[in-house]
Amino acid sequence: MLPLLTRDDEDDEGRPACCDPQAAALNLLCSGPSKQGQCVYQGLTLFDQAVWSPKPCVTCLCAGGRVFLFSFLLASSPVSPLLFLSPTFLPPFFTVTFSFPLDQLPPPSPHRPKPALEPDLSLDLSGDSPVPSDPSEPVTPLTQQEIQRILWREEEEHREEEERLKKKDEARKKRRKQRKEQEERQRKIVEDKRRQEEEALRLQVEKEEEQWRRQMEERRQEEEDRRQKEAAEREAREKERKREEERRRQEEKLREELLALVEEEEEERQEEDEEEVWLRGDVFQMPPKEPEEPEEPEEPEEPEEPEEPDLLPAPIPRPPAATEDELREVEEAEEMEEEREELVANRGGLPPGCDLSDVTVTCENAKLIHFPPLSIPELKSLSLEGNNISTIPAGAFNGIPNLEWINLKKNKLTSAGIDSKAFKGLKMLRRLYLDGNLLDVVPSDLPPTLQELKISENRLRGVDGNSFQDLNSLVILELEGNVLSEGNVDPLAFAPLVQLSYLRLGRNHFRTIPQGLPPTLLELYLENNLIEEISETVFNQTRSLNVISLRHNRLDETRIAPMAWISHRNLESIDLSHNHLYLVPSYLPTSLVHLVLVGNNIERIPGFVFAHMDPGLEYLYLSYNKLDGEAIEPESFFGSFNSMVELCLDNNQLLTVPSGINEMTNLHFLRLNNNRIRSIPDEGICDPNHSGDSTLVAVRLENNHIDPQKVSPTAFSCVRSSSSVVLRPQKSDPVSRRKT
């Protein structure tokens, strides 16, 4: 934009202000941000259409990469300024149009009337312009109205240009936005495609890994099956050999008995003959000649046969009558012989691979596919383990009604294949083993005399309230390796088991302790489940519990309620191995004797955690944890100093022998191997002030960083035998290795 000068803008000498040498400066007037066709003037880079004033009354224009010079002169007339252009810098086709801001226009001069606005007036600076190109020639000055009209028109064009540039800029922004959106969409498409490819690759890798794992598992299973098959074959061969030996022994025994009977009969016949001979006194019989030494042979003379007297045979007297004892013995011998013959006959009717011993029939791994028809009423035990039996008909046990023990492990029995009345007639059955079959429900109508029931390694998917109906004599129940959980086990299922003492529910899908456990329960095994929590009321009805095993679950010390078992007076053994514990749990039962915490993440043994126990903890297993130098406090073992018998702290990160061990007066076994211990203090294990007999039987300290040559001779004075202290081998000390 160019300023408009009037007479009011003159200096003291009558020169216009723009021509004042003191005011000479570079005034830049830019008309656009375009970088195309930019110019370089006196070291400055100016954009296309830029206007500037290098000195007073001179204006330059950058157009198309070229610089154009404009000179301004003011006429002496007070009416309006004069504008002169230097045509030497303009191309013949170039036309210049100036824009002046309306708010900078000077007021019209009073010495000149306002001209009428012409409709079209512009300044043409092309080569065809009538304006003289010589500055010395007179120039007709523009009137104020003409200048104002030019300014208005230029202002309108400038607004239009700005509007056009604005629209162009908006269109450019819109295109840029659309391009960004398109790039973003394309990027998302590429990203989605890349993600899909990665997901497909990951799935393919997982599939290949799963296939590899499955193949390895199949190989391991095949190897395990092969080993089991070989072991079964070896066992079968051994059993066959034993059966063959037993059979030979029985046959030899029977042969000996038969020979004895034959000899006895022969002796009886000889005795009868002798008795008959001695009773006939008129019969003379020469005694047998004794052998003589041979002499020189001579012609023997044939003796004359004596004439036998003509005698009549004497009458044979009647033998004396047998006594009652002799008759009774004969009858018993005959009965034994009949029983022996019956057993031999029955044994000969058993299926191949079966053996009869006393009152037990064993048909293990005999490749049976059907239940064998047996008729041995006196049979007490039947073992059919390791066959392919899939069904048990209703009358399978009719010929063996006095069975007390049945072993049907490792067959192919299904719930549909066992008749509902199959076991009902066994009035003396005590033990029933159904492990390793394909059962999905507990068989119905089991005898009420049953005391031991094992249905582990099956497919049981639930236990309802009637599963153990009438089994009021059951003492041992094992249901491990099934698909049981708190959702499919009825809380009333164990109610009929009023004498149950031993319950195994390991390797199932329990997340909580099952409800409705019988109050008579003494031992509970729930290992290898998904148990995460032990509530306060879960053991309220089982006050007689003595052993609880919860190994291989998901417990941590914050999910064990404080009052869960602290009030139990009979609970002596708890196994919490391989859980998610970080501390030794507090509020343990006061009667606890045996505590197993192997394979957790335990980092600390809180002080006085065992102080409330009476008579005190005896067996503590903390192997394979994360105990370090600050994990054990001086009061950690308080309350067990006089009761601890066995302490296992191996495979941790201990740096020294924990304090308090030398105060354990009843300690027998101590394991500190596989730690980071570097030295054994003189009083770390043995208390020199203890005057009683030595109780320590074995101390394990191998695989630490101990130098055996630096151990004091009195460090193990309380150990019964120096040979019971294991100090070798030791790991190399990393500190010493770095020094070396």
In 3D space, the residue among 590, 510, 513, 500 whose CA is nearest the CA of residue 548 turns out to be: 513
Which of the 8 DSSP states describes residue 470? Answer: T
Confidence of residue 8 (pLDDT cuts 50, 70, 90): very low
Residues 243-283 have pLDDT tens digits of 777 877 777 777 777 777 777 777 776 666 554 443 444 33
Q: Parallel, antiparallel, or unpaired for β 523-525 and 360-362?
A: unpaired
Contact 483, 457 (CB under 8 A): no
Q: Is the pLDDT of residue 345 over 50?
A: no
Q: What is d(CA 730, CA 677) in angstroms, rounded to the nearest whole number?
A: 10
Which pTM was predicted? 0.56
Residues 656-702 have pLDDT tens digits of 999 999 999 999 999 999 999 999 998 899 988 877 777 899 999 99
Q: What is the mean pLDDT of residues 163-171?
A: 88
| C-alpha 521 chain-centroid distance | 30
Q: What is d(CA 360, CA 383) in angstroms, rounded to the nearest whole number?
A: 8
Q: Which residues contact 10 (CB under 8 A, 6 or more apart)?
A: 16, 17
Q: Which pLDDT belongs to residue 472?
A: 94
Provide the mean pLDDT of the chain. 78
Axis-axis angle for helices 144-279, 324-348 (nearest 10): 140
Residues 437-486 have pLDDT tens digits of 999 999 999 999 999 999 999 999 999 999 999 999 999 999 999 999 99
Helix (H, G, I), strand (E, B) or coil at 265: helix
Q: Is the pLDDT of residue 726 over 50?
A: yes
What's the token pair of residue 326? 């002799």
Beta partners for 605? 632
Beta partners for 46? 39
Alpha helices per DSSP H over 280-427: 324-348
Quick count: other Cβ atoms within 10 Å of Cβ 449? 15
What's the token pair of residue 8? 């009011």
| C-alpha 49 chain-centroid distance | 76
Q: Which pLDDT belongs to residue 274?
A: 53
Q: Which amino acid is at 458?
A: N
Residue 270, Cβ density class (10 Å: 0-12 exposed, 13-18 middle, ≥19 buried):
exposed
Q: What is d(CA 231, CA 667) in angstroms, rounded to the nearest whole number?
A: 42
What's the token pair of residue 339? 């029983």
Q: Which pLDDT belongs to residue 598?
A: 97
What's the token pair of residue 206? 């997982």
Confidence of residue 45 (pLDDT cuts 50, 70, 90): confident
In 3D space, the residue among 648, 575, 588 whose CA is nearest the CA of residue 616 turns out to be: 588
Q: What is d(CA 175, CA 258) in angstroms, rounded to the nearest whole number?
A: 118
Residues 481-515 have pLDDT tens digits of 999 999 999 999 999 999 999 999 999 999 999 99
- CA angle in degrees (0–180, nearest 5) for 328-332-333: 115
CA end-to-end distance (rounded Å), the chain: 85
Q: What is the residue whose two structure tokens read 């013995």?
A: 329
Q: Which amino acid is at 279?
A: L
